Structure 1
Amino acid sequence: MSLTKRQTQIVELLARGNTAQEVADTLCCALATVRRHLQIACEREGARNTAHLVALSISRGFIKPLCLLLIVAMCDGHPDSLRRNAPRRLTKRHDDIPAVVI
């Protein structure tokens, strides 16, 4: 199965670290609506909880993994930059990588 467009939006926002209330505020809807979308999505995908739903959504390709977004951010928006800088940048410790707001 696959998630609806709205369920995908909600799961992506959760995967980025937002709380359910922050998701509701961002999407201009009620917290109960967000929770209901999550409940239906969990049932539909066979997820045990929201964290499991996020993991399943990434593994099934419904949303992009956060690590890909961070790698794109590290390439400074230039496609050749990632290829040129990847060996140096990806070997750095995680605390040396600047925080990226997604």
Structure 2
Amino acid sequence: MKRIGTVFFALVFCAVAVAAGAAGDAAKGEALAKGCACHKSKGDLNGVDAATLTAKMQAFKDGKGENKAMVAIMQKQSPENIADLAAYYASLPKK
């Protein structure tokens, strides 16, 4: 019984570590966002939940969406870049 508890704790710990790692790095996202002139000037992504931003960027990466420029830009991004960009924009105060 003690072994089951240890295994369960290890699984929970690993799941938390994976979730934390998927959160993204806002500092890296800031560097990536230097080329995002439209969104930086509008501030339309500032303060939006990172999960929402990630889903939107992933949809563009998958070729979904009306904005062909965003589809082309996101198709070049790695999952890590998407997480970093989402973390950056989520960290900004809403305009």
Which TM-score band applies after superposition, normalised by the shorter structure?
under 0.3
Structure having the larger proportion of residues in helix: 2
- The alignment's TM-score, normalised by the length of structure 2, stands at 0.26
Which structure has more relative contact order (CA 8 Å, sep 6+)? It is 2
